DNA sequence: TATGAATGAGTGTTCATTCAT
DNA sequence: TATGAATGAACACTCATTCAT
């Protein structure tokens, strides 16, 4: 236990400031549009400090991506209970994710930008490799109960996240607006897509 | 006088070379990773020549995007006949598009990169604004026949293109491979998603 | 006599258009700020045509300068009569020149810009080498009548043109405004400067 | 620890090197003729370093101009004593300035080039707006003593600096050479011009 | 003769990263 | 450990001039 705990650990605090500034600048101006100098200024730290926390720009972007993925998963699982029915879990995941993305457009935009950026080699391969145990369980139960189509989980996953991401993108860009009923309908449509 | 047309007009030929080199470099290295100098070298023209055909890098990217959209639409409509049934048209569009994207991964990647790039302002708004008359007719017929869910076409469209793009991305990245049967299944799933 | 004189000689007409456009662009944007392409566009002729009239940009600038000098001299001598008194000639030259410069600020600015530009080597040497016979006569008479200080004509000339140019520059830039009385006073002051 | 001050502070030293190289290149080749690359080479610093000291080329030129103005004023006031007679002050100012300009032709040329350059907008307005307190006092005394013509100081100033600049220009270009006697004569002529 | 597309060296400026302090 | 000035390769773009038509 830290006796002087009223002084927050400077190290992690700086790292946080840097990541926050990075999210803002990268989502608004892109990876190239945000220079390390601007980043340092926005974060309120000297440039050199960034390099003490991250090996370079690329690693910083990766680290931010990992954090975003983690946070998004946590949001997706908010209120999760293993005892919930398959359908209830589906609705929870879907609604949680949609709400999270629309509420945090910068986090969503950063992640999408990352996924499609040729900034880093072989990034796309990282898209689907990790699947949380809760989601794995969800798909496993669906197959076991004979509810899901017999397609590999990556494909079922694409049938859900595909429309969801597409619609969030359009919602953020103000091309379409989905009210509560629309969200429900789209969610139902996705359910139709993955079930027999 | 040149009776034979085997000497193509130099103007369009140069433009073609530039666009081809641009597609290759942009899809492989991104908008920032591909410099005008590298582009010129790849296209086999001096830098200055690019600026005779395009006002600048941004306009070049836009022009290439417009061409890609046009070509992809043409591919989507290959074999189209207005007399086809709703379901037949759906299958034609779906299969044509999937095949085109998987066959031309660079064209697909460029288009996706463009859509999510902060390189240009308000690009995302342009994603869905144009819809060909054939597609508009497709959705119109679907509503009229009471086959489609009563959701706006932008949403139905997202329910189709969302999974399709997601799966093409994964297929190109070798995360999943869809054989003919899988493609058929996913297409069916999309149909399930949009129909009542 | 040209029977077809109703069609103006195209050659000289184009040359005129080019020089007019050049005066406008050079005085507004400087020698470097005015590209040959913009010049051609402004003059309404193809770029290549400029090179048929002038060997290059440098020669064009020189030619324009020579023309400006010629025109300014003509303006200076407007109403000149060899029979006029020394003082009358002085006043005519002074007032004519001042009025011409203030009325044609672009012509004045171009000439000054030319004089001080390092664009061309050894240009300054050309400033004073030519003196019209009327001016030479003016100085000659002044010395002969014992009215002028015994200083070389280049120095007397500088005592007149120096203040004149300085004040025109300030007048054009709206730093000072010289009404008729002020002009008279400055002219008198210059007379005081050169006379014994 | 460096006890000796023979290691000058690197920061100001670099700035000095850059300004010195800038004076040389700008006065010899003009603002456009002197590229940042050549400037860096001449100054013995990498290009990027220039941008750490000056925001850009334009600011560098401005900074150099300000320094030249300051230095020239200091030279003009060399040996100044408020108790000196009006005439003595006039002669001090005139001779100091002439000597300074002829001794430092590059500084003179740079300043003239700056004044007439279309490189920067509204520069000419800055020519005369600042007048040192010593010069203001000089004109004030002249009016008070009834020695100067009743013309605004900007006009009297032009009657002095006009010929002076014109003659320095010609002297530098070797068109005229003013020996000590000539300088005295021209100075007297200027005095005649501004006094009643 | 008249044209304007083609040329490529050269421009001012930026930026991720390093390293002396 | 912490800093931020220094670095110089790389960038998008311009332009006077040429020359094939």
Domain-embedded: residue D62: no
A32-58 pLDDT, tens digit each: 989 999 999 999 999 999 999 999 999
Same domain, D96 and D182: yes
Binary contact (C151, D189; C-beta < 8 A)? yes
Binary contact (C167, D165; C-beta < 8 A)? no
How large a percentage of chain D has pLDDT more than 90?
Answer: 80
Q: What is the mean pLDDT of residues C158-164?
A: 96
Instruction: Quote the CA–CA distance of D26 and D111 in Å, as a whole number.
Output: 10
Domain-embedded: residue B171: yes
- C-alpha distance across the termini of chain C, in Å: 54
Nucleotides of F under 7 A from a protein CB: 2-20
Domain-embedded: residue B102: yes
Residue D123: per-residue pLDDT: 54
Residue D7: per-residue pLDDT: 47
- Shortest CA–C1' contact from D40: which nucleotide? F8
The answer to whether the beta carbons of residues C172 and C108 sit under 8 Å apart is yes
Within an 8 Å CB–CB cutoff, is residue D118 touching chain C? yes
Q: What is the mean pLDDT of residues C112-135?
A: 72
Same domain, C96 and C49: no
Provide CB contacts within 8 A for C4, sequence distance 6+: none
Within an 8 Å CB–CB cutoff, is residue C152 touching chain D? yes
Same domain, C49 and C124: no
Spatial CA neighbour of C156 closest among C98, C185, C196? C196
Same domain, C46 and C133: no
Report residue C63's pLDDT band, with 50, 70 and 90 as the boundaries. very high
Same domain, C73 and C143: yes
Same domain, D76 and D35: no
Least confident residue range of B129-133, B152-156, C93-97, D102-106: B129-133
Same domain, C114 and C177: yes
What is the number of domains present in chain D? 2
What tokens were used for D119? 């490189």
Residue D47: per-residue pLDDT: 96
Same domain, C106 and C34: no
Helix (H, G, I), strand (E, B) or coil at C67: helix
The separation, in Å, between residue D49 CA and nucleotide E13 C1' comes to 12
Domain-embedded: residue B48: no
Helix (H, G, I), strand (E, B) or coil at D148: strand
The separation, in Å, between residue B157 CA and nucleotide F11 C1' comes to 40
Residues of chain B falling short of pLDDT 50: 1-7, 124-125, 127-128
**Is C7 a residue whose pLDDT tops 60?**
no
**Is C2 a residue whose pLDDT tops 80?**
no
Domain-embedded: residue A179: yes
Residues of chain A falling short of pLDDT 50: 1-3, 5, 124-125, 128
Least confident residue range of B56-70, C122-136, D49-63: C122-136
Structure pTM? Answer: 0.88
Domain-embedded: residue D64: no
**Is C8 a residue whose pLDDT tops 60?**
no
φ/ψ region of C165 (left if φ > 0, alpha if ψ in -120 to 50, else beta) reads: alpha
The angle at the Cα of A37, spanning A32 to A43, to the nearest 5 degrees, equals 105
Residues 30-69 of B with CB under 7 A from strand E: 45-49, 51-53
Same domain, D73 and D116: yes
Residue C9: per-residue pLDDT: 58
Helix then strand then coil, in percent of chain D rounded to 5, is 70, 0, 30
Residue A1: per-residue pLDDT: 45
- Shortest CA–C1' contact from A52: which nucleotide? F2
Same domain, D29 and D78: no
Within an 8 Å CB–CB cutoff, is residue B178 touching chain A? yes
Domain-embedded: residue D1: no
Least confident residue range of C6-10, C16-20, C161-165, D18-22: C6-10
Provide CB contacts within 8 A for C82, sequence distance 6+: C134, C137
Residue B174: per-residue pLDDT: 83
Instruction: Quote the CA–CA distance of D178 and D142 in Å, as a whole number.
Output: 27
Instruction: Quote the CA–CA distance of D186 and C32 in Å, as a whole number.
Output: 36
Domain-embedded: residue A169: yes
What tokens were used for B82? 């207005």
Q: What is the mean pLDDT of residues C86-102?
A: 97
For residue D158, give its domain range: 69-194
How large a percentage of chain D has pLDDT more than 70?
Answer: 88
How far is A83 from chain B, CA to nearest CA, in Å? 27
**Is D177 a residue whose pLDDT tops 70?**
yes
Q: Compute the mean pLDDT over every residue in chain D, rounded to the nearest whole number.
A: 89
H or E stretch including D136? helix D133-144
How far is A148 from chain B, CA to nearest CA, in Å? 11
D125-146 pLDDT, tens digit each: 454 457 889 999 999 999 999 9
Residue C118: per-residue pLDDT: 73
Candidates C161, C166, C186, C190: best to mutate against D (most CBs of D within 10 A) is C166
Report residue D53's pLDDT band, with 50, 70 and 90 as the boundaries. very high
Report residue D2's pLDDT band, with 50, 70 and 90 as the boundaries. very low
How far is C193 from chain D, CA to nearest CA, in Å? 4
Does the C-beta of D21 come within 7 A of strand E? no
Spatial CA neighbour of B21 closest among B8, A29, B49, B4? B49
CATH number at residue B159: 1.10.357.10
């Amino acid at each position: 236990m830290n006796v002087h705990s009223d002084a927050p650990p400077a190290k992690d605090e700086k790292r946080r400031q840097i990541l926050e500034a990075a999210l803002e600048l990268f989502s608004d101006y892109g990876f190239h549009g945000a220079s390390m100098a601007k980043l340092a200024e926005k974060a309120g730290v000297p440039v050199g400090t960034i390099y003490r926390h991250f090996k370079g720009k690329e690693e910083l972007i990766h680290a931010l991506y990992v954090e975003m993925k983690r946070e998004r998963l946590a949001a997706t699982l908010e209120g999760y209970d293993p005892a919930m029915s398959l359908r209830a879990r589906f609705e929870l995941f879907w609604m949680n994710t949609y709400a999270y993305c629309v509420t945090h457009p910068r986090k969503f935009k950063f992640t999408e930008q990352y996924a499609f950026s040729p900034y880093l080699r072989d990034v796309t391969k990282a898209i689907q490799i990790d699947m949380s145990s809760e989601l794995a369980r969800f798909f496993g139960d669906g197959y076991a109960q004979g509810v899901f189509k017999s397609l590999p989980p990556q494909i079922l996953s694409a049938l859900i996240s595909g429309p969801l991401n597409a619609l969030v993108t359009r919602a953020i860009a103000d091309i379409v607006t989905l009210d509560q009923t629309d969200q429900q309908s789209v969610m139902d449509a996705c359910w139709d897509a993955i079930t027999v």
